[in-house]
Amino acid sequence: MAKIIGVRFQSRGNLFYCDAGDIPLQVGDQVVVDTNEGLDLAKVVISEAQVQASDLGKPLMTVMRRAGAEDLEKAKQKKEKKALVKCQEMVTELGLKMKPISAHYNLDCSHLTIFFSAQERVDFRNLVRKLSRILKTRVELRQLGPRDEAKLVGGIGKCGYPLCCQRWLTEFTSTSIRMAKQQDLALNPAKISGICGRLLCCLAYENKQYAAIREKMPKVNQEISTHFGKAKVVSVNPLKETVVVEIDKVIRELPLSQLSEKPGQV
């Protein structure tokens, strides 16, 4: 049976599962992994994954060895910044409408991946040929979506803190306008969108809690019974778990516990 571990090739990158064979490893160890692009350096984040190889749906990558001093030294010497600068120069020279964002060499620099963003489809075949000839390595270009671009570039969010995807978020969760409505947020794209132009990832963080609280609360305009008599719901506050009601033309804010009838009942 394969000993499966989880690794990341970048600090905030996606999680990949590998077959570690009989190599003893702990979380935090650096390992050399055999990937489709050659050998590369990765960090162990799960020492013993509770998953079967047959459940993953694709072949496992193989851990070749624990990274040694020579491997770590090679990783330091990779000239990714120079490669990115050269790519930017060639993009300008060829007049391509694309923005190179980041570059990544594998461990022995036999494969270079350049990540870029573009508003429209770009024919970069000539760029790849020229870069491969100049840099003397195999070059692959990958287009990023707006969220992945923000993750690589970084920035400050509306909350005043560095972006979640830049600090700790490793995978993007699905968000929707319905989540914003659930949390009584203004449906203004400028207020509920991140610097990537997509809906804020944090809309999903507390959505389940809001949904659970909403189930306990009456609907706006619903008639309910209170200790003060019949009332009409004006608004609800899920965070405070209170309900604003109108009783004989008087507005009161009552805790949910003071409502004598459950939501949906009249």
Strands (E), the chain: 4-8, 16-19, 30-35, 38-46, 61-66, 99-105, 111-117, 138-143, 223-226, 229-237, 242-247, 250-255
Smallest Cα–Cα separation from 249: which of 219, 228, 218?
Answer: 228
Name the one residue in this structure whose structure tokens are 């770009």: 122
Smallest Cα–Cα separation from 200: which of 212, 189, 213?
Answer: 189
Instruction: Give pLDDT tens digits for 22-46.
Output: 899 999 999 999 999 899 999 999 8
Please state the rounded mean pLDDT for residues 192-212.
93
User: Residue 227: pLDDT band by 50, 70, 90 thresholds?
Assistant: confident
Domains within the chain, CATH numbers bracketed: 4-76 (no CATH), 78-144 (3.30.300), 158-205 (no CATH), 217-258 (2.30.30)
User: Residue 54: pLDDT band by 50, 70, 90 thresholds?
Assistant: low
Given a cut of 90, is residue 178 above it in pLDDT?
A: yes
Given a cut of 80, is residue 50 above it in pLDDT?
A: no
Strand 229-237 with 223-226, pairing: antiparallel
Which residue type sits at 225?
A: S
Distance (Å, whole) CA 111 – CA 109: 5
How distant, in Å, are the alpha carbons of 62, 71, 235, 238 from that of 140? 22, 23, 55, 49
Smallest Cα–Cα separation from 64: which of 3, 23, 12?
Answer: 23
Q: Is 55 exposed, middle or buried (0-12, 13-18, 19+ CB in 10 A)?
A: exposed
Smallest Cα–Cα separation from 64: which of 85, 38, 82?
Answer: 38
Given a cut of 90, is residue 216 above it in pLDDT?
A: no
| DSSP-derived secondary structure for 3-63 | -EEEEESSTTS--EEEE-TT----TT-EEEEEETTEEEEEEEEESS-S--GGGSSSPPEEE
* Per-residue confidence (pLDDT) for residue 26, from 0 to 100: 92
Given a cut of 70, is residue 225 above it in pLDDT?
A: yes
* Per-residue confidence (pLDDT) for residue 260, from 0 to 100: 66
Torsion of CA 173, 112, 3, 45, to 10 degrees: -50
User: Residue 263: pLDDT band by 50, 70, 90 thresholds?
Assistant: very low
Given a cut of 90, is residue 167 above it in pLDDT?
A: no
Contact by Cβ (8 Å): 245, 222: no
User: Residue 261: pLDDT band by 50, 70, 90 thresholds?
Assistant: low
DSSP state of 123: -
Instruction: Give pLDDT tens digits for 111-132.
Output: 999 999 999 999 999 999 999 9
